[in-house]
Structure 1
């Protein structure tokens, strides 16, 4: 297997020719958005090439990578990639990682590691230094109309949504245009959510840039209001047939009023009305691989009867001694 550099336009063209549904993170609009975030730079795209019939080159996978600079070192990140033409075997993934490591070392010696999605637990890869990777998600089928969407939920999901439709005072709407003008009132809800759930949200400008750069074709903001006050919202990305609930936030004092149940169902129906969208990815649930995310399961899994496996993020060390030192330093920090 070989790895060769290609442009983002070539990546999107090859994906279209091969009938691959690209995650939005592997597209040109996403690259423009990432370039606005401090410490991130589009590094380039690569094609994993094998041997096809008659010895002809054959595209096996594609990936767009970004240079991340943090704490004085660089690493590469490729979200939801490599995007494989056909599901790879562990041996193919191992060969791909070896080829990518050789390619990056030759082209860019400053990179410490590469973070990609790898299904198999390979000796060449390590658990991620940061973040919480996941190997399962929930994808809601939004085809065939509102009642069909409801009918495919678990009984608990149908019960909660019907209760929300009957009793919840929240009014839901697509507020993309309003949020694009100012994200402050939505960001205030995110701050409250972060304090409740123990995380620090990105700067408000990151969400504003995401909405502005991706544009309404690829990014929607849905919100629920009670008496004119935003109490729950979602940022949803759209590319091809797949929509993704990328961010969500809700007020503490209205959580028991089923406001987010009502909003998610509204989103499903609205996205389903766009005939191009067939699946709505709730992005990440817990499992044995990612037990820290188990708290998400009760809410997300009620909207569908299926769980979708995905290749989780793993780190591919390029400077092995330096990477080992980073692991040791993190372990010491975590003990404090």
Structure 2
């Protein structure tokens, strides 16, 4: 039998630590406090999920207000201690629906991660993934390199020999003044066809999470920032959260050198793994452009649960999906007419 023990992000973090279980950064109290600084978001609550009295998972939920309605998001939650059975996951889904309905009548739907998609819907927005690359950071710099695919080892070694970039941890500099780093993100967005978040968003993330939970690594050529990454940390796990690069250095193996530098630096800090945050497949075809780079850093990819929507207000959610379908149809017609 599944039961939910109501608490907050700090509560699940303490109970996870008692079990020596590392939560995803998005399930921590530091993340909840960071989300509280973002307009339209606030920590909503959290649950310790138990099965027959034994703790099996944790979930921290953030209330998102958008377009006049509310939904709850839990990135990488529920965080299961062990991969759940289909039946257990379905029971947790029903328990969460009941709990949310009983506590907050304003919530339209949940957006949480599932292994089994039955009873859920594709997300209305964002791009979830169900496959990723996790790099083992244990054993030192040489071991990190040895465990890569052959082409990964080749490209990293070539970058160490030939790339003029100097790669270092620049967390303190980035927090003091992020403008030089943001210019690289703007150029990346223009090249790759997406809209960058406002600079304030990156600054708030760094300042709110603090250097214990967020680090900035940058590559410079002739003193100029040409690439950078933000890495999020919780205990001994790291996540490759944001990355960008100037077009002029795309052929100079700068990303290879920078990511290897990150892996080595994090390994020296005691991190045991870094999650490269998703690759493309049939579930997430728009991410396939990331595969060539990311997959060379580990021999195997890793399956993971993926973000899905769970309606709370079913009629309202149907209306949202219909509206989205109409918008997509109109965009398609507009693009076809060009």
Q: Indicate the TM-score class for this superposition, using the shorter chain for normalisation.
A: over 0.9
Q: Once the two structures are superposed, what CA deviation does each residue of 1:148-192 show, in whole Å capped at 9, x if it has no partner? A: 111111111111111111111111110000000011111111111
How far, CA to CA, are the matches of 1:84 and 1:262 in structure 2?
Answer: 34
Unaligned 5+ segments in structure 1 are: 52-56
Q: Once the two structures are superposed, what CA deviation does each residue of 1:119-169 show, in whole Å capped at 9, x if it has no partner? A: 0021x2101000111001111111111111111111111111111111111
Query: Which residue in the other structure is 2:42 paired with?
Result: 41
Query: Which residue in the other structure is 2:115 paired with?
Result: 119
Task: Give the 3-state SS of the residue equivalent to 2:250 in structure 1.
Answer: helix
How far, CA to CA, are the matches of 1:282 and 1:191 in structure 2?
Answer: 21
How far, CA to CA, are the matches of 2:263 and 2:57 in structure 1?
Answer: 30
Q: Once the two structures are superposed, what CA deviation does each residue of 1:92-117 show, in whole Å capped at 9, x if it has no partner? A: 11110011001101110110100001
Task: Give the 3-state SS of the residue equivalent to 2:211 in structure 1.
Answer: helix
Task: Give the 3-state SS of the residue equivalent to 1:216 in structure 2.
Answer: coil
How far, CA to CA, are the matches of 2:310 and 2:103 in structure 1?
Answer: 16
How far, CA to CA, are the matches of 2:150 and 2:183 in structure 1?
Answer: 33
Task: Give the 3-state SS of the residue equivalent to 1:256 in structure 2.
Answer: coil
Note if 1:258 corresponds to 2:253.
Answer: yes
Backbone CA RMSD of aligned residues: 1.0
1:218 CA drift (Å): 1.1
Query: Which residue in the other structure is 2:165 paired with?
Result: 170
1:215 CA drift (Å): 1.1
How far, CA to CA, are the matches of 1:24 and 1:165 in structure 2?
Answer: 31
Where does structure 1 differ by over 6 angstroms across 4 or more consecutive aligned residues? Answer: none
- 1:1-336 alignment, distance < 5 Å: 1-51=2-52, 57-122=53-118, 124-275=119-270, 277-336=271-330
1:4 CA drift (Å): 3.2
How far, CA to CA, are the matches of 1:280 and 1:49 in structure 2?
Answer: 28
Query: Which residue in the other structure is 1:54 paired with?
Result: none
- Aligned residue-pair number: 329
